[in-house]
């Protein structure tokens, strides 16, 4: 009976999905699931849904609800992290202040000034969580879902002894999109994907041993298909591989699409206009938060059930607990040189074999030079953000923002310096002290 602690379980929709995933495996349906959050009302909502799932499915799982993180961690086998540090105010600052300097972020939670400052305010809490784990469940596997994925995992790799993997659904979501563009079943795709989180690449894409890339290039000539994923098809055309993050988010990782309003409009594909817009994720997040906090909001508890989603967490736990070999794309340390032309101390997203003995990153070899170059610039940013926090180094933070591709395409060095100082001042209450 594994014990799984959910830290940040007030993220009701996502936490409930992951609980349902675990309960969908008969080998895991007697798990002890501990739900923890600092927001009592949201935690109560998630707890009600989880308890209803257990009752409706007739399984033997135990649901524990607590506001005490240490209570949730005591003796846990797996820790799922999905916290959000700081709430709405710093998030809004991280989007709107850069916007004043011409840095147009659609998402802004993983890279760019928004992702960098989100990492800055999140890493200290993650290090506190890891310190509690080192005391209370030192052998537990920490599975991180919180963004900025690479920055947070990088900090944990460098500063703690807790085994950590980062989980993201961008690879299966991209496979689903490709299958749709090619009008073939997703189950028939065979792929090999590696890089960094949100900037990983389909190095191989096959069906019955034959490459699907020629067919995908043909599909992109259909305007109706191209308009569904404009940025990714542009990157595919110019760099030769399909990337793992959606067009509106991928546009933030490179300097080509978001520094000119006319270019942004050109990239606004079918159903994507509102997504490509600046602050689209911020505005959606605020709307979803208001809905979740609505006291009149209710869930039909009689119908909730354990339906398995595309998320990796339950599959990872099941593979380890039952010694069932399974290949998953996970964010791990590159200490084994899984990607030979990215630094060994970086966080990479690569295929991993998971079985009863744990998580084993697969060897990918070298990425094509052009793809490694796009990833390397972000790896350097990640490293500098972590250095800024661990060494309280203000200069390292400034250099991280100055190396960000989107920011560098929009601003002069002096403007970036000024913007970074403005962000430090606006979000001072949520940030570690830097000297």
**294 lies in some domain:** no
Residues making up the chain, counted from first to last: 435
Report how far residue 15's alpha carbon sits from residue 35's, in angstroms, rounded to the nearest whole number. 9
pLDDT digits (tens, 9 = 90+) for 58-109: 999 999 999 999 999 999 999 999 999 999 999 999 999 999 999 999 999 9
pLDDT digits (tens, 9 = 90+) for 121-180: 999 999 999 999 999 999 999 999 999 999 999 999 999 999 999 999 999 999 999 999
- Judged against a pLDDT cut of 70, whether residue 222 lies above it is answered with yes
pLDDT digits (tens, 9 = 90+) for 350-406: 999 999 999 999 999 999 999 999 999 999 999 999 999 999 999 999 999 999 999
pLDDT digits (tens, 9 = 90+) for 279-307: 888 888 888 776 765 645 677 788 888 88
Q: What does the block give as tokens for 359?
A: 């998580």
Whether residue 373 sits in one domain with residue 249:
yes
Q: Are 193 and 201 in contact (CB under 8 A)?
A: yes
- Whichever domain contains 397, its CATH number is 3.90.1820.10
pLDDT-derived band at 273, boundaries 50, 70, 90: very low
Residue 134: name the closest of 170, 102, 163 by CA.
163
Residue 131: CB atoms within 10 A of its CB come to 13
Whether residue 143 sits in one domain with residue 69:
yes
**248 lies in some domain:** yes
Whether residue 202 sits in one domain with residue 64:
no
What pLDDT does residue 303 have?
A: 84
Q: Are 356 and 323 in contact (CB under 8 A)?
A: yes
Whether residue 343 sits in one domain with residue 393:
yes
Whether residue 180 sits in one domain with residue 78:
no
* Window from 103-117, 206-220, 261-275 with minimum mean pLDDT: 261-275
Coil, strand, or helix at residue 203? strand
| Known catalytic membership, residue 249 | no
**306 lies in some domain:** no
Over the chain, what is the mean pLDDT?
94
Q: What does the block give as tokens for 299?
A: 């869930």
Whether residue 26 sits in one domain with residue 13:
yes
Work out how many domains the chain is built from and give that number: 2
Q: Are 362 and 380 in contact (CB under 8 A)?
A: no
pLDDT-derived band at 260, boundaries 50, 70, 90: confident
Whether residue 215 sits in one domain with residue 97:
no
Close Cβ partners of 149 (under 8 Å, ≥ 6 residues apart): 110, 166, 168, 197, 198, 331, 347
- 183 conformational bin, left if phi > 0, alpha if psi -120 to 50, beta if neither: left
Q: Angle at CA 328, nearest 5°, toward 304 and 305?
A: 5
Whether residue 359 sits in one domain with residue 416:
yes
Q: Angle at CA 328, nearest 5°, toward 338 and 217?
A: 85
**422 lies in some domain:** yes
**284 lies in some domain:** no
- Whichever domain contains 61, its CATH number is 3.40.50.720
Given 118, 140, 166, the domain boundary residue is: 166
Report how far residue 380's alpha carbon sits from residue 9's, in angstroms, rounded to the nearest whole number. 32
Q: What does the block give as tokens for 366?
A: 């070298």
Report how far residue 174's alpha carbon sits from residue 310's, in angstroms, rounded to the nearest whole number. 12
**22 lies in some domain:** yes
Report how far residue 31's alpha carbon sits from residue 138's, in angstroms, rounded to the nearest whole number. 19
Residue with tokens 């070999």: 325
Q: Which domain holds residue 431?
A: 167-278+311-435
Whether residue 162 sits in one domain with residue 173:
no
Report how far residue 397's alpha carbon sits from residue 124's, in angstroms, rounded to the nearest whole number. 15
Q: Which of 169, 173, 360, 417 is catalytic?
A: 169
Whether residue 197 sits in one domain with residue 99:
no
DSSP labels for 228-294?
A: TSHHHHHHHHHHSS-BSS-HHHHTTTSSSSSSSHHHHHHH--TTTHHHHSTTHHHHHHHHHHHHHT-
Given 144, 166, 188, the domain boundary residue is: 166
Residue 249: name the closest of 153, 330, 149 by CA.
149
**128 lies in some domain:** yes
Whether residue 183 sits in one domain with residue 138:
no
- Judged against a pLDDT cut of 60, whether residue 272 lies above it is answered with no
pTM comes to 0.95
Given 131, 147, 166, the domain boundary residue is: 166
Give me the residues paired with residue 166 across strands. 144, 331
Q: Are 214 and 220 in contact (CB under 8 A)?
A: no
Residue 237: CB atoms within 10 A of its CB come to 11
Report how far residue 397's alpha carbon sits from residue 31's, in angstroms, rounded to the nearest whole number. 42
Whether residue 217 sits in one domain with residue 145:
no
- Judged against a pLDDT cut of 90, whether residue 264 lies above it is answered with no
**156 lies in some domain:** yes
């Amino acid at each position: 009976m594994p014990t799984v602690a959910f830290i940040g379980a007030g993220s009701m929709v996502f936490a409930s999905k992951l609980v349902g995933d675990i309960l969908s495996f008969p080998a895991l349906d007697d798990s002890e699931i501990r739900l923890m959050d600092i927001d009592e009302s949201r935690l109560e909502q998630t707890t009600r849904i989880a308890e209803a799932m257990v009752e409706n499915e007739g399984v033997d799982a135990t649901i524990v609800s607590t506001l005490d993180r240490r209570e949730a961690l005591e003796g846990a086998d797996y820790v799922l992290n999905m916290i959000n540090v700081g709430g709405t105010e710093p998030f809004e600052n991280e989007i709107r202040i850069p916007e004043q300097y011409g840095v147009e972020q659609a998402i802004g939670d993983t890279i760019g000034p928004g992702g960098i400052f989100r990492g800055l305010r999140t890493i200290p809490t993650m290090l506190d969580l890891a310190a509690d784990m080192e005391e209370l469940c030192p052998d537990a596997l920490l599975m991180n879902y919180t963004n900025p994925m690479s920055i947070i995992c990088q900090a944990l790799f460098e500063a703690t002894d807790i085994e950590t993997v980062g989980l993201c659904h961008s690879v299966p979501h991209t496979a689903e999109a490709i299958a749709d563009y090619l009008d073939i079943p997703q189950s028939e795709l065979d792929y090999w994907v590696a890089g960094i989180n949100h900037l990983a690449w389909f190095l191989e894409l096959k069906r019955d041993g034959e490459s699907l890339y020629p067919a995908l290039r043909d599909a992109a000539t259909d305007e109706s298909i191209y308009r569904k994923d404009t940025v990714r098809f542009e990157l595919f055309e110019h760099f030769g591989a399909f990337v793992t993050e959606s067009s509106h988010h991928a546009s933030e990782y490179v300097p080509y699409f978001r520094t000119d309003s006319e270019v942004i409009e050109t990239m606004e594909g079918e159903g994507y206009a509102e997504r490509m817009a600046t602050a689209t994720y911020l505005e959606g997040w605020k709307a979803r938060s208001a809905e979740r906090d609505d006291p009149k909001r209710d869930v039909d508890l009689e119908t909730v059930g354990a339906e398995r989603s595309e998320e990796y967490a339950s599959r990872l736990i099941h593979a380890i607990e039952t010694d069932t070999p399974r290949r998953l794309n996970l964010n791990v340390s590159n200490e084994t040189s899984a990607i030979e032309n990215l630094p060994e101390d970086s966080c990479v997203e690569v295929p991993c074999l998971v079985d009863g003995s744990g998580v084993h990153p697969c060897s990918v070899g070298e990425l094509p030079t052009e793809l490694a170059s796009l990833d390397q610039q972000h790896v350097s940013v990640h490293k500098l953000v972590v250095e800024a926090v661990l060494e309280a180094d203000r200069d390292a933070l400034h250099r991280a923002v100055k190396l960000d591709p989107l920011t560098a395409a929009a601003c002069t060095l002096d403007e970036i310096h000024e913007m970074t100082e403005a962000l430090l001042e606006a979000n001072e209450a949520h940030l570690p002290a830097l000297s």
